[in-house]
Structure 1
Amino acid sequence: MQRIKKVCVYCASSNKIESKYFEATETVARALVKNNTTVVYGGGANGLMGALADTVLEEKGRIIGIMPHFMKEVEFHHKDVNEFIFTADMHERKKQFMVGVDALITLPGGCGTFEELMEAITLKRLGIFTKPILILNLDGYYDDLLRMLDKAIEEGFLSEKHRPIWTVFTDPAKVIEAIMGSTPWSSDAINFAQV
Protein backbone atom coordinates (compact mmCIF):
# COMPACT_ATOMS: atom_id res chain seq x y z
CA MET A 1 0.00 0.00 0.00
CA GLN A 2 1.31 3.46 -0.95
CA ARG A 3 2.36 5.56 2.01
CA ILE A 4 0.32 8.71 2.70
CA LYS A 5 3.07 10.95 4.10
CA LYS A 6 1.47 14.38 4.10
CA VAL A 7 -2.06 15.70 3.64
CA CYS A 8 -3.76 19.08 3.76
CA VAL A 9 -7.02 19.40 5.67
CA TYR A 10 -9.49 22.15 4.79
CA CYS A 11 -11.93 22.90 7.62
CA ALA A 12 -13.92 25.51 9.53
CA SER A 13 -12.80 28.12 12.03
CA SER A 14 -16.24 28.51 13.60
CA ASN A 15 -16.87 27.51 17.21
CA LYS A 16 -20.65 27.83 16.79
CA ILE A 17 -21.22 24.43 15.20
CA GLU A 18 -22.52 21.12 16.47
CA SER A 19 -20.29 18.81 18.50
CA LYS A 20 -20.53 16.05 15.87
CA TYR A 21 -18.28 18.11 13.58
CA PHE A 22 -15.65 18.44 16.29
CA GLU A 23 -15.84 14.71 17.03
CA ALA A 24 -15.43 13.85 13.34
CA THR A 25 -12.44 16.19 13.06
CA GLU A 26 -10.78 14.56 16.06
CA THR A 27 -11.40 11.13 14.51
CA VAL A 28 -9.80 12.20 11.23
CA ALA A 29 -6.83 13.66 13.12
CA ARG A 30 -6.29 10.44 15.09
CA ALA A 31 -6.49 8.31 11.95
CA LEU A 32 -3.89 10.50 10.23
CA VAL A 33 -1.51 10.43 13.21
CA LYS A 34 -1.94 6.66 13.54
CA ASN A 35 -0.87 6.41 9.88
CA ASN A 36 2.18 8.61 10.65
CA THR A 37 0.86 11.27 8.25
CA THR A 38 1.95 14.90 8.57
CA VAL A 39 -1.03 17.27 8.62
CA VAL A 40 -1.02 20.67 6.90
CA TYR A 41 -3.85 23.08 7.75
CA GLY A 42 -4.82 26.74 7.92
CA GLY A 43 -3.06 27.39 11.23
CA GLY A 44 -6.09 28.53 13.23
CA ALA A 45 -6.79 27.95 16.91
CA ASN A 46 -10.59 28.02 16.72
CA GLY A 47 -13.33 25.76 15.43
CA LEU A 48 -12.45 22.58 13.57
CA MET A 49 -9.00 23.98 12.80
CA GLY A 50 -8.29 24.22 16.52
CA ALA A 51 -9.72 20.76 17.18
CA LEU A 52 -7.60 19.30 14.38
CA ALA A 53 -4.41 20.87 15.71
CA ASP A 54 -5.15 20.05 19.35
CA THR A 55 -5.80 16.39 18.54
CA VAL A 56 -2.74 15.97 16.31
CA LEU A 57 -0.59 17.52 19.05
CA GLU A 58 -2.19 15.41 21.80
CA GLU A 59 -1.52 12.28 19.74
CA LYS A 60 2.13 13.35 19.23
CA GLY A 61 1.71 13.85 15.49
CA ARG A 62 3.21 16.47 13.20
CA ILE A 63 1.15 19.46 12.08
CA ILE A 64 2.11 22.46 9.96
CA GLY A 65 0.09 25.66 9.97
CA ILE A 66 -0.05 27.91 6.90
CA MET A 67 -1.41 31.41 7.35
CA PRO A 68 -1.05 34.91 5.94
CA HIS A 69 0.87 37.37 8.13
CA PHE A 70 -2.19 39.56 8.67
CA MET A 71 -4.02 36.70 10.44
CA LYS A 72 -1.13 36.21 12.86
CA GLU A 73 -1.26 39.91 13.65
CA VAL A 74 -4.84 39.56 14.92
CA GLU A 75 -3.91 36.39 16.86
CA PHE A 76 -5.79 33.81 14.82
CA HIS A 77 -2.84 31.39 14.85
CA HIS A 78 -2.61 28.35 17.11
CA LYS A 79 0.05 29.11 19.74
CA ASP A 80 1.01 25.45 20.31
CA VAL A 81 1.70 24.64 16.66
CA ASN A 82 5.43 25.21 16.32
CA GLU A 83 5.71 24.60 12.58
CA PHE A 84 4.32 27.55 10.64
CA ILE A 85 4.61 28.96 7.16
CA PHE A 86 3.48 32.58 7.04
CA THR A 87 2.51 33.84 3.60
CA ALA A 88 2.06 37.25 2.02
CA ASP A 89 -1.62 36.71 1.30
CA MET A 90 -4.50 34.23 0.96
CA HIS A 91 -3.55 33.29 -2.61
CA GLU A 92 -0.06 32.24 -1.58
CA ARG A 93 -1.53 30.35 1.36
CA LYS A 94 -3.69 28.24 -0.95
CA LYS A 95 -0.68 27.47 -3.16
CA GLN A 96 1.33 26.36 -0.12
CA PHE A 97 -1.48 24.04 0.99
CA MET A 98 -0.82 21.89 -2.08
CA VAL A 99 2.97 21.73 -1.97
CA GLY A 100 4.19 18.17 -1.48
CA VAL A 101 0.90 16.75 -0.21
CA ASP A 102 -0.43 13.30 -1.06
CA ALA A 103 -4.09 14.35 -0.70
CA LEU A 104 -6.48 17.16 0.21
CA ILE A 105 -9.19 16.42 2.76
CA THR A 106 -12.23 18.68 3.00
CA LEU A 107 -14.11 18.62 6.29
CA PRO A 108 -17.32 20.60 6.84
CA GLY A 109 -16.70 24.32 6.61
CA GLY A 110 -17.90 27.68 5.40
CA CYS A 111 -17.06 29.96 2.49
CA GLY A 112 -13.28 29.69 2.93
CA THR A 113 -13.46 25.90 2.89
CA PHE A 114 -15.79 25.96 -0.13
CA GLU A 115 -13.42 28.25 -2.00
CA GLU A 116 -10.37 26.11 -1.24
CA LEU A 117 -12.20 22.97 -2.36
CA MET A 118 -13.50 24.49 -5.59
CA GLU A 119 -10.08 25.88 -6.51
CA ALA A 120 -8.54 22.45 -5.92
CA ILE A 121 -11.21 20.81 -8.11
CA THR A 122 -10.51 23.37 -10.85
CA LEU A 123 -6.74 22.80 -10.68
CA LYS A 124 -7.25 19.04 -10.81
CA ARG A 125 -9.56 19.39 -13.80
CA LEU A 126 -6.70 21.22 -15.55
CA GLY A 127 -4.15 18.59 -14.54
CA ILE A 128 -2.17 21.09 -12.45
CA PHE A 129 -2.95 19.24 -9.20
CA THR A 130 -3.28 15.45 -9.49
CA LYS A 131 -3.62 14.11 -5.94
CA PRO A 132 -6.84 12.79 -4.33
CA ILE A 133 -9.41 15.36 -3.19
CA LEU A 134 -11.58 13.97 -0.39
CA ILE A 135 -14.89 15.39 0.81
CA LEU A 136 -16.17 14.27 4.21
CA ASN A 137 -19.94 14.38 3.74
CA LEU A 138 -20.83 13.99 7.40
CA ASP A 139 -24.59 13.57 7.91
CA GLY A 140 -25.24 15.01 4.45
CA TYR A 141 -23.46 18.32 5.08
CA TYR A 142 -22.21 18.47 1.49
CA ASP A 143 -25.31 16.98 -0.18
CA ASP A 144 -26.28 20.28 -1.82
CA LEU A 145 -22.77 20.94 -3.12
CA LEU A 146 -22.56 17.41 -4.51
CA ARG A 147 -25.94 17.88 -6.18
CA MET A 148 -24.63 21.09 -7.74
CA LEU A 149 -21.59 19.25 -9.10
CA ASP A 150 -23.91 16.53 -10.46
CA LYS A 151 -26.04 19.23 -12.08
CA ALA A 152 -22.95 20.77 -13.67
CA ILE A 153 -22.21 17.38 -15.25
CA GLU A 154 -25.82 16.85 -16.32
CA GLU A 155 -26.00 20.33 -17.88
CA GLY A 156 -22.68 19.99 -19.72
CA PHE A 157 -20.60 22.40 -17.64
CA LEU A 158 -18.44 19.46 -16.53
CA SER A 159 -17.87 16.12 -18.23
CA GLU A 160 -18.68 12.70 -16.79
CA LYS A 161 -14.91 12.17 -17.05
CA HIS A 162 -14.51 14.82 -14.34
CA ARG A 163 -16.55 12.97 -11.72
CA PRO A 164 -13.48 11.10 -10.31
CA ILE A 165 -11.82 14.44 -9.48
CA TRP A 166 -13.34 14.23 -6.00
CA THR A 167 -14.00 11.30 -3.67
CA VAL A 168 -16.80 11.43 -1.11
CA PHE A 169 -16.61 9.54 2.17
CA THR A 170 -18.89 9.55 5.20
CA ASP A 171 -16.94 7.75 7.94
CA PRO A 172 -14.16 9.96 9.36
CA ALA A 173 -12.34 6.91 10.73
CA LYS A 174 -11.87 5.65 7.16
CA VAL A 175 -10.02 8.67 5.81
CA ILE A 176 -6.89 6.69 4.86
CA GLU A 177 -8.97 4.05 3.07
CA ALA A 178 -10.82 6.82 1.22
CA ILE A 179 -7.54 8.34 0.04
CA MET A 180 -6.22 4.96 -1.08
CA GLY A 181 -9.50 4.21 -2.90
CA SER A 182 -9.45 7.42 -4.94
CA THR A 183 -9.23 7.20 -8.73
CA PRO A 184 -5.70 7.99 -9.99
CA TRP A 185 -5.42 11.26 -11.91
CA SER A 186 -2.89 12.50 -14.43
CA SER A 187 -1.59 15.84 -15.66
CA ASP A 188 -2.95 14.68 -19.05
CA ALA A 189 -6.35 15.80 -17.72
CA ILE A 190 -5.67 19.10 -19.47
CA ASN A 191 -6.51 17.23 -22.69
CA PHE A 192 -10.13 16.73 -21.62
CA ALA A 193 -10.53 19.78 -19.38
CA GLN A 194 -12.77 21.40 -21.97
CA VAL A 195 -16.24 19.91 -22.22
Structure 2
Amino acid sequence: MPVSQVCVYCASSPKIDPAYFEATDVLADALVQDGVKVVFGGGATGLMGRLADRVLALGGHITGIMPNFMKEVEWAHKGVQHFHFVGDMHERKKRFLDGTDALIALPGGCGTLEELLEAITLKRLGLFTKPIIILNIRGYYDPLLAMLERSVEEGFMNPQHRQMWTVLDDPAGIIAAIEAAPPWSEEAIRFAPVR
Protein backbone atom coordinates (compact mmCIF):
# COMPACT_ATOMS: atom_id res chain seq x y z
CA MET A 1 0.00 0.00 0.00
CA PRO A 2 1.57 3.32 -1.01
CA VAL A 3 1.70 5.89 1.77
CA SER A 4 0.57 9.30 0.54
CA GLN A 5 -0.70 11.02 3.72
CA VAL A 6 -0.17 10.49 7.44
CA CYS A 7 -1.45 12.21 10.56
CA VAL A 8 1.05 12.91 13.33
CA TYR A 9 -0.09 13.31 16.93
CA CYS A 10 2.47 15.15 19.06
CA ALA A 11 3.18 17.59 21.88
CA SER A 12 2.84 21.36 21.99
CA SER A 13 5.14 21.72 25.01
CA PRO A 14 8.59 23.21 24.34
CA LYS A 15 9.89 22.18 27.79
CA ILE A 16 10.85 18.62 26.90
CA ASP A 17 14.01 16.62 26.31
CA PRO A 18 15.93 17.56 23.13
CA ALA A 19 15.80 13.91 22.07
CA TYR A 20 12.11 14.32 21.24
CA PHE A 21 12.86 17.26 18.93
CA GLU A 22 15.64 15.28 17.26
CA ALA A 23 13.28 12.35 16.68
CA THR A 24 10.73 14.74 15.18
CA ASP A 25 13.37 15.97 12.71
CA VAL A 26 14.18 12.38 11.71
CA LEU A 27 10.49 11.62 11.24
CA ALA A 28 9.94 14.73 9.11
CA ASP A 29 12.99 13.89 7.00
CA ALA A 30 11.73 10.36 6.33
CA LEU A 31 8.22 11.50 5.43
CA VAL A 32 9.30 14.32 3.12
CA GLN A 33 11.93 12.15 1.45
CA ASP A 34 9.18 9.67 0.57
CA GLY A 35 6.81 12.42 -0.66
CA VAL A 36 4.28 11.83 2.13
CA LYS A 37 1.86 14.63 3.01
CA VAL A 38 1.61 15.41 6.72
CA VAL A 39 -1.45 16.38 8.73
CA PHE A 40 -0.97 17.66 12.29
CA GLY A 41 -2.64 19.73 15.00
CA GLY A 42 -1.47 23.05 13.58
CA GLY A 43 0.41 24.33 16.62
CA ALA A 44 3.48 26.55 16.50
CA THR A 45 5.30 25.27 19.60
CA GLY A 46 6.79 22.05 20.89
CA LEU A 47 6.98 19.03 18.63
CA MET A 48 4.09 20.36 16.53
CA GLY A 49 6.04 23.50 15.71
CA ARG A 50 9.23 21.56 15.07
CA LEU A 51 7.46 19.12 12.77
CA ALA A 52 5.97 21.93 10.71
CA ASP A 53 9.24 23.88 10.59
CA ARG A 54 11.16 20.85 9.37
CA VAL A 55 8.61 19.73 6.78
CA LEU A 56 8.38 23.25 5.38
CA ALA A 57 12.17 23.70 5.35
CA LEU A 58 12.47 20.52 3.30
CA GLY A 59 9.80 21.62 0.84
CA GLY A 60 7.22 19.11 2.03
CA HIS A 61 3.45 19.45 2.33
CA ILE A 62 1.85 19.92 5.75
CA THR A 63 -1.74 20.69 6.74
CA GLY A 64 -2.86 21.94 10.14
CA ILE A 65 -6.23 21.14 11.66
CA MET A 66 -7.24 23.32 14.59
CA PRO A 67 -10.42 24.38 16.39
CA ASN A 68 -11.36 28.04 15.98
CA PHE A 69 -10.88 28.79 19.68
CA MET A 70 -7.18 27.89 19.37
CA LYS A 71 -6.84 30.15 16.35
CA GLU A 72 -8.33 32.99 18.39
CA VAL A 73 -5.57 32.69 21.00
CA GLU A 74 -2.98 32.60 18.17
CA TRP A 75 -1.72 29.05 18.63
CA ALA A 76 -1.67 28.41 14.87
CA HIS A 77 1.69 28.01 13.11
CA LYS A 78 2.16 31.11 10.96
CA GLY A 79 4.24 29.36 8.30
CA VAL A 80 1.70 26.64 7.47
CA GLN A 81 -0.28 27.64 4.39
CA HIS A 82 -2.76 24.76 4.42
CA PHE A 83 -5.14 24.97 7.37
CA HIS A 84 -8.58 23.67 8.25
CA PHE A 85 -10.21 25.48 11.13
CA VAL A 86 -13.03 23.48 12.69
CA GLY A 87 -15.75 23.94 15.27
CA ASP A 88 -14.41 21.87 18.13
CA MET A 89 -11.99 19.18 19.29
CA HIS A 90 -14.29 16.34 18.21
CA GLU A 91 -14.42 17.61 14.64
CA ARG A 92 -10.66 18.10 14.70
CA LYS A 93 -10.05 14.45 15.62
CA LYS A 94 -12.45 13.27 12.94
CA ARG A 95 -10.67 15.37 10.30
CA PHE A 96 -7.32 13.93 11.40
CA LEU A 97 -8.49 10.52 10.17
CA ASP A 98 -9.96 11.66 6.84
CA GLY A 99 -7.81 10.46 3.96
CA THR A 100 -4.94 9.34 6.16
CA ASP A 101 -2.95 6.20 5.36
CA ALA A 102 -1.51 5.92 8.88
CA LEU A 103 -1.48 7.56 12.30
CA ILE A 104 1.83 8.30 13.99
CA ALA A 105 2.10 9.17 17.67
CA LEU A 106 5.19 11.03 18.80
CA PRO A 107 5.45 11.61 22.57
CA GLY A 108 2.94 14.07 23.98
CA GLY A 109 0.73 14.96 26.92
CA CYS A 110 -2.91 14.24 27.69
CA GLY A 111 -4.13 15.53 24.31
CA THR A 112 -1.82 13.22 22.40
CA LEU A 113 -2.68 10.30 24.67
CA GLU A 114 -6.40 10.96 24.24
CA GLU A 115 -6.11 11.12 20.45
CA LEU A 116 -4.06 7.93 20.34
CA LEU A 117 -6.39 5.97 22.61
CA GLU A 118 -9.46 7.14 20.68
CA ALA A 119 -7.84 5.96 17.44
CA ILE A 120 -7.06 2.56 19.02
CA THR A 121 -10.67 2.32 20.22
CA LEU A 122 -12.01 3.16 16.74
CA LYS A 123 -9.70 0.53 15.26
CA ARG A 124 -10.94 -2.05 17.77
CA LEU A 125 -14.47 -1.34 16.54
CA GLY A 126 -13.46 -1.56 12.87
CA LEU A 127 -14.29 2.11 12.31
CA PHE A 128 -10.65 2.92 11.51
CA THR A 129 -8.48 0.33 9.79
CA LYS A 130 -5.17 2.06 8.99
CA PRO A 131 -1.81 1.47 10.74
CA ILE A 132 -1.17 3.15 14.08
CA ILE A 133 2.53 3.66 14.77
CA ILE A 134 3.64 4.54 18.30
CA LEU A 135 7.07 6.20 18.29
CA ASN A 136 8.44 5.09 21.63
CA ILE A 137 11.29 7.62 21.91
CA ARG A 138 13.33 7.19 25.11
CA GLY A 139 10.79 4.59 26.23
CA TYR A 140 8.21 7.34 26.68
CA TYR A 141 5.28 5.06 25.92
CA ASP A 142 6.47 2.10 28.02
CA PRO A 143 3.88 2.71 30.78
CA LEU A 144 1.02 3.00 28.26
CA LEU A 145 2.15 -0.13 26.42
CA ALA A 146 2.32 -1.96 29.75
CA MET A 147 -1.21 -0.81 30.53
CA LEU A 148 -2.50 -2.01 27.16
CA GLU A 149 -0.76 -5.35 27.71
CA ARG A 150 -2.37 -5.61 31.14
CA SER A 151 -5.74 -4.92 29.53
CA VAL A 152 -5.19 -7.99 27.34
CA GLU A 153 -3.81 -10.15 30.15
CA GLU A 154 -6.74 -9.33 32.42
CA GLY A 155 -9.37 -9.96 29.78
CA PHE A 156 -10.44 -6.40 29.01
CA MET A 157 -9.20 -6.80 25.44
CA ASN A 158 -8.68 -9.81 23.17
CA PRO A 159 -5.16 -11.04 22.29
CA GLN A 160 -5.60 -10.10 18.61
CA HIS A 161 -6.03 -6.48 19.68
CA ARG A 162 -2.26 -6.35 20.18
CA GLN A 163 -2.04 -6.12 16.38
CA MET A 164 -3.80 -2.74 16.32
CA TRP A 165 -0.60 -0.78 16.89
CA THR A 166 3.08 -1.02 15.97
CA VAL A 167 5.81 0.22 18.29
CA LEU A 168 8.86 1.85 16.72
CA ASP A 169 11.94 3.23 18.46
CA ASP A 170 13.65 4.78 15.42
CA PRO A 171 11.51 7.18 13.37
CA ALA A 172 13.80 6.72 10.36
CA GLY A 173 12.03 3.41 9.78
CA ILE A 174 8.55 4.91 9.68
CA ILE A 175 7.64 4.04 6.08
CA ALA A 176 8.75 0.43 6.45
CA ALA A 177 6.80 0.16 9.72
CA ILE A 178 3.63 1.49 8.08
CA GLU A 179 4.00 -0.89 5.15
CA ALA A 180 4.65 -3.87 7.45
CA ALA A 181 1.74 -3.18 9.83
CA PRO A 182 -0.72 -6.09 10.08
CA PRO A 183 -3.82 -5.58 7.93
CA TRP A 184 -7.01 -4.66 9.76
CA SER A 185 -10.61 -5.03 8.67
CA GLU A 186 -13.93 -3.38 9.36
CA GLU A 187 -14.95 -6.89 10.44
CA ALA A 188 -12.92 -6.30 13.62
CA ILE A 189 -16.23 -5.31 15.20
CA ARG A 190 -16.97 -9.05 15.38
CA PHE A 191 -14.21 -9.66 17.93
CA ALA A 192 -14.25 -6.25 19.61
CA PRO A 193 -16.14 -7.62 22.64
CA VAL A 194 -14.37 -10.00 24.98
CA ARG A 195 -16.38 -13.21 25.24
* TM exceeding 0.5: yes
Question: Taking structure 1 as the reference length, what is the TM-score of the superposition?
Answer: 0.99
Correspondence for 1:13: 12
Secondary structure of 1:9's match? strand
The code of the aligned residue for 1:26 comes to D
**Superposition map of 1:1-195 within 5 A:** 2-195=1-194
Shift of 1:107: 0.3
**What is the number of residues matched between the two proteins?**
194
Shift of 1:87: 0.5
Shift of 1:42: 0.1
The code of the aligned residue for 2:87 comes to A
CA distance, structure 2, for counterparts of residue 179 and residue 106 of structure 1: 12
Deviations 1:81-123 (A, max 9, x none): 0000000000000000000000000000000000000000000
The code of the aligned residue for 1:12 comes to A
Q: Which runs of 5+ in 1 are unaligned?
A: none
Deviations 1:36-64 (A, max 9, x none): 00000000000000000000000000000
Shift of 1:143: 0.4
| RMSD of aligned Cα (Å) | 0.4
* Paired-residue identity, %: 63
Secondary structure of 2:190's match? helix
State the 4+ residue runs in structure 1 displaced beyond 3 angstroms: none
Shift of 1:18: 0.8
Q: Which runs of 5+ in 2 are unaligned?
A: none
CA distance, structure 1, for counterparts of residue 113 and residue 180 of structure 2: 23
Question: Taking structure 2 as the reference length, what is the TM-score of the superposition?
Answer: 0.99
Secondary structure of 2:104's match? strand
Shift of 1:161: 1.1
The code of the aligned residue for 2:54 comes to T
The code of the aligned residue for 2:189 comes to I
CA distance, structure 2, for counterparts of residue 128 and residue 48 of structure 1: 28
